[in-house]
Amino acid sequence: MLQTIQFDPDMIRRFDVPGPRYTSYPTADRFLAEFTPESQAGHLARLSTPQGTRPLSLYFHIPFCNTICYYCACNKVITKDHSRSAKYIDYLEREMAMQAALLPAPRPVAQMHWGGGTPTFLQPEEILRLVSAIRQHFTLQAGGEFSIEVDPRKVSAETVALLAREGFNRMSVGVQDFDPKVQAAVNRRQSVEETRLVIDAARAEGFRSISVDLIYGLPHQSVEGFGRTLDTVLAMQPDRLALYNYAHLPSRFMPQRRINETDLPAPDAKLQILALAIERLGAAGYVFIGMDHFARPDDELAVAQREGRLQRNFQGYSTHAECDLLAFGVSAIGKAGGAFSQNQRELDPYYAALDRGELPVMRGWALSADDELRNAVIQTLMCDFSLSFELMSSRFGVRFEEYFAAELNDLRELGAAGLLSIDAHGVQVSAAGRMLVRIIAMVFDAYLRSDREKRRYSRVI
């Protein structure tokens, strides 16, 4: 761990600027309304090409939550009314039927993820109903990667057993912080005991990977307090940890207006919290995967990174680079047939589109040859922390050094600052630069280069 990442606070202060997370390229804020339901149907039909043998990845967005967490920037619906989720599953079934009908041939599903919102808002009978509908339209591959985001405050051991019986084998558990004062400030009260119960139940049911999500930069957080949270989480021995930076953007996310800005840790205190987390995770044997993800050396993410199979998508780092991604539900984003597509963000327009017999697409983006090349460059940097000019030139039929002459000139400036080294063969991100790999990736973002000042992103650290 200490050989692969170096915490350099001065470098972080220098380069901590707003920037994309590159779960896609181009980023979702670039998608166009001119990309219509008909556009998406056409791109799905293109899967009859030789790429038709590629397996599928499915994403289901479940937007419902019982209560609101003030820090949350996800697309969600706060309710306790399960008639709303029952109706939503009706429409998910319709959307699945429409997308499946457009595929020219059956395709095995190697990966599935339920995100939210809170997917475990669904009652057991609703989970069973949705899984049954998925199996009606798609074939879940034996040994596939099937994951779900879990709020342990609302999940029993019986529910975990149900998920296991229905094929789920990976779980992401939201924690954020165990400090009671922090929990009160963000309206998420969650005990250690109920969290441990879910993790222990998942292990007992044979889940292959358990991830825990933490957030640094929340109100009232301190180095000492977050250290206690880290100790508690590490004692649970999760396979992966995600350490997210809290981006306070109350003008964009209304729930954040309930957070008192004066209660947020100062920038230096926030850096100290991050430094402590990196030190503790390294001492516990976790490998830095990239950005905000850590994993045990034998976890599939770490193995995929070592073997050059790691990728990024809208759920973060993933082991299935070869899949076409079909997405279902409000705001869900997919990538298939050379295009990104995003569904309607609100329930009523989503329902209305399906009532009209249309795919509920709100916007999207058809990738150009330049987009595909830059996407590959950015993905490789974000996942491998290195870049071979020869491999990229061969793969895309370009002379890399000529095509990216301006970008390479900018990279040399970052190299002088210590973020990377560059020679005739390629780029190698330094141990200190890995925390700031987004800064390096931004150099290859053609759209960001043209209008950086017009876009609003969270800060890199």
Is residue 13 located within the same domain as residue 118?
no
Q: d(Cα 287, Cα 219) in Å, to the nearest integer?
A: 28
Residue 361 lies in a domain: no
Q: List all residues 6 or more positions away from 300 whose beta carbon is below 8 Å from its beta carbon.
A: 145, 208, 209, 319
HSE-up of 318 (CA within 13 Å, CB side)? Answer: 26
Q: Determine how β-strand 420-422 pairs with β-strand 139-150.
A: unpaired
Q: List all residues 6 or more positions away from 388 whose beta carbon is below 8 Å from its beta carbon.
A: 425, 426
Per-residue pLDDT of the chain (461 residues; tens, 9 = 90+): 334 788 888 898 899 888 888 989 999 999 999 999 999 999 998 886 555 578 899 999 999 999 999 999 888 999 999 999 999 999 999 999 999 999 987 889 999 999 999 999 999 999 999 999 999 999 999 989 999 999 999 899 999 999 999 999 999 999 999 999 999 999 999 999 999 999 999 999 999 999 999 999 999 999 999 999 999 999 999 999 999 999 899 998 999 999 999 999 999 999 999 999 999 999 999 999 988 899 999 999 999 898 888 988 887 888 877 789 999 999 999 999 899 999 999 999 999 999 999 999 999 999 999 999 999 999 999 999 999 999 999 999 999 999 999 999 999 999 999 999 999 999 999 999 999 999 999 999 999 887 754 555 666 66
Question: What count of residues does the chain have?
Answer: 461
Is residue 29 located within the same domain as residue 18?
no
Is residue 1 located within the same domain as residue 53?
no
Is residue 20 located within the same domain as residue 31?
no
Q: d(Cα 55, Cα 325) in Å, to the nearest integer?
A: 9
| CB contact at 8 A, 61 and 332 | yes
Last-in-domain residue among 326, 351, 384: 326
Q: What does DSSP assign to residue 255?
A: G
The vertex-438 CA angle with 415 and 424, nearest 5°, equals 35
Is residue 133 located within the same domain as residue 241?
yes
Number of domains composing the chain? 2
Residue 238 lies in a domain: yes
Q: d(Cα 180, Cα 101) in Å, to the nearest integer?
A: 49
Is residue 209 located within the same domain as residue 277?
yes
Q: What is the pLDDT of residue 214?
A: 97
Phi-psi region of 33 (alpha: psi -120 to 50; beta: other; left: phi over 0): alpha
Is residue 67 located within the same domain as residue 143?
yes
Is residue 56 located within the same domain as residue 9?
no
Q: What is the pLDDT of residue 371?
A: 97
Q: d(Cα 161, Cα 326) in Å, to the nearest integer?
A: 27
Last-in-domain residue among 303, 326, 349: 326
Residue 397: CATH number of its domain: 1.10.10.920
| CB contact at 8 A, 39 and 339 | yes
Is residue 67 located within the same domain as residue 120?
yes
Residue 278: CATH number of its domain: 3.80.30.20
pTM (predicted TM-score): 0.94
Q: d(Cα 345, Cα 44) in Å, to the nearest integer?
A: 21
Is residue 184 located within the same domain as residue 234?
yes
* 313: three-class secondary structure by DSSP: strand
Cα–Cα distances in angstroms (integers) from residue 196 to residues 27, 159, 234, 237, 319, in the given order: 36, 14, 11, 10, 26
Residue 319 lies in a domain: yes
Strand intervals (E) in 274-433: 287-290, 293-295, 311-313, 316-318, 324-328, 333-336, 339-343, 361-366, 386-388, 420-422, 426-429
Encoded tokens for 96: 């699945």
Cβ burial of 150 (10 Å; 0-12, 13-18, 19+) is buried
Q: d(Cα 248, Cα 260) in Å, to the nearest integer?
A: 10
Full domain range(s) for residue 6:
1-24+369-461
Residue 38 lies in a domain: yes
- Helix or strand run (H / E) with residue 359: none
Burial 51-85 (b: 16+ CB within 10 A, else e): eeebbbbbbbbbbbbeeebbbbeebbbeeeeeeeb
| Nearest of 400, 393, 454, 385 to residue 3 by alpha carbon | 385
Q: What is the pLDDT of residue 453?
A: 47
Is residue 17 located within the same domain as residue 30?
no
Residue 152 lies in a domain: yes
Residue 357 lies in a domain: no
Is residue 257 located within the same domain as residue 395?
no
Q: What is the pLDDT of residue 1?
A: 38
Q: Determine how β-strand 324-328 pairs with β-strand 56-62.
A: parallel
Radius of gyration of the chain (CA): 22
426 cis-preceded (ω within 30 degrees of 0): no
Q: List all residues 6 or more positions away from 342 whose beta carbon is below 8 Å from its beta carbon.
A: 28, 31, 327, 331, 332, 333, 361, 362, 363, 364
Last-in-domain residue among 292, 326, 360: 326
